[in-house]
Structure 1
Amino acid sequence: MKNIKTLHTAFLLFLLGIMATSCGEDTIPKPQAYLRLDYPMGKYIPYTGSCPYTFGYNSLAHIKDKGNCNLTIEYPRMKATLFITYKPVEGNLNALLRDAQKLTYEHVIKADEILEQPYINDEKKAYGMFYQVGGNAATNAQFYVTDSTHHFLTGSMYFYAKPNFDSIMPAASYIKDDMRNIMETLSWK
């Protein structure tokens, strides 16, 4: 009889233990973790080639002259390139503006959103637009800057990987800051 009471007491304690632990909140699976990507802050140095413009660029990037004042600014660690294209304004400003806008809005199929941020610097005679392209588009940012009489400069960022915005977001944000710096430090010669 003593064994039955002990067994009965053990069973009741076991049952109470299950009831006490089962009344908690539902368990929620943890979200997937992503690799934290921190990039070192680069020092901005001047680009002063033979072209009719100068600007500050990140010392951690590599500039390559592609001829006709067109450049690539490569970010090997991020597997990205910023393409800089220069065109003289020769009565064709409207066509240049249309082409720059068309290039951006070709990504509307894959983009979640396209934010336009105007840029005006009367002191340097630099006027333009910075485009942030959200989503899995081929480019995440583009810009153009012009003095509206002689010079027109565009910039587009591309990665050497299939666009997956969640994965490239830290690198894209880093390069967007560099692109804004190029716009803000741009001076015409």
Structure 2
Amino acid sequence: MMRKYIFLIVIFSALVVSCKEDTLPKPKAMLRLEYPDSTTVNFVASKYSFDYNALAKINKKNESAVTVGYPRMNGSIFLSYKPVAGNLNQLLSDAQKLSYEHAAKADNILEQPFVNEEAKVYGMFYDVKGDAASQSQFYVTDSTEHFLTGSLYFSVKPNYDSILPAAVYLQEDIRKIMETLRWEN
């Protein structure tokens, strides 16, 4: 009698095991985040103006410090204005130094010059790759009176793979700020 139970258990186990499909590993997937197309709004300060994404919120601390915040992405573009008064070389050096302070954590920093002769806006855009605190830095100047720097930061621990989609989206907004920047007289 015991042999019958053992035989039935073996047969039942063989049927259960043989009915399973082969286990296949799941393919690697990338998180797909889609952000809405942006419409722009004009911002005017006493020394400059630019267009920015209507989804952002402007926080003007004073004439020299403006934050373009993106609450849905936990990101902000911090802008800082300084007048040029014989100190252009120092301002350029400080802006470049700030960008390269992230080199310790960055995998790469790509420099992209920016020139808008018509509006007298000249500058540099730094695209920071890797787990750095800031994913983008930039500066623009007219070389005689105005100097504006900007930095992109997220309110989360840097993890390049996780913030890459948001960083790319906000880098486009930074480029829009640079392209539409006009100096006020």
Q: Aligning the two structures, in what range does the TM-score lie when normalised by the shorter sequence?
A: 0.7 to 0.9
Do residues 132 (structure 1) and 149 (structure 2) align?
A: no
Structure 2 distance, partners of 1:147, 1:177, is: 22
Structure 2 distance, partners of 1:78, 1:166, is: 15
Deviation at 1:34, TM superposition (A): 4.1
Deviation at 1:35, TM superposition (A): 3.2
SS at match of 2:77: strand
Do residues 90 (structure 1) and 85 (structure 2) align?
A: yes
Structure 1 distance, partners of 2:73, 2:169, is: 10
> TM-score, normalized by length of structure 2?
0.85
Amino acid at match of 2:143: S
Partner of 2:57 in structure 1?
A: 62
Deviation at 1:108, TM superposition (A): 0.4
Once the two structures are overlaid, the 10-residue window that deviates more, 29-38 or 78-87, is 29-38
Amino acid at match of 2:82: K
Amino acid at match of 1:114: I
Q: After TM superposition, which residue ranges in structure 1, 4 or more long, deviate above 6 angstroms?
A: none
SS at match of 2:97: helix
Do residues 181 (structure 1) and 176 (structure 2) align?
A: yes
SS at match of 2:148: strand
- Paired residues for 1:117-156 under 5 Å: 117-156=112-151
Structure 2 distance, partners of 1:121, 1:80, is: 27
> CA-atom RMSD, angstroms?
1.8
Give identity over the alignment, percent: 59
Deviation at 1:36, TM superposition (A): 1.9
Deviation at 1:42, TM superposition (A): 1.6
Deviation at 1:128, TM superposition (A): 0.2
SS at match of 1:71: strand
Amino acid at match of 2:148: L
Residue from 37, 40, 53 that aligns with 2:36: 40
Partner of 1:166 in structure 2?
A: 161
Q: How many residues align?
A: 165
Q: Which runs of 5+ in 1 are unaligned?
A: 1-17
> TM-score, normalized by length of structure 1?
0.83
Q: Deviations over 1:64-107 (max 9, x none)?
A: 00113310000000000100000000000000000000000000
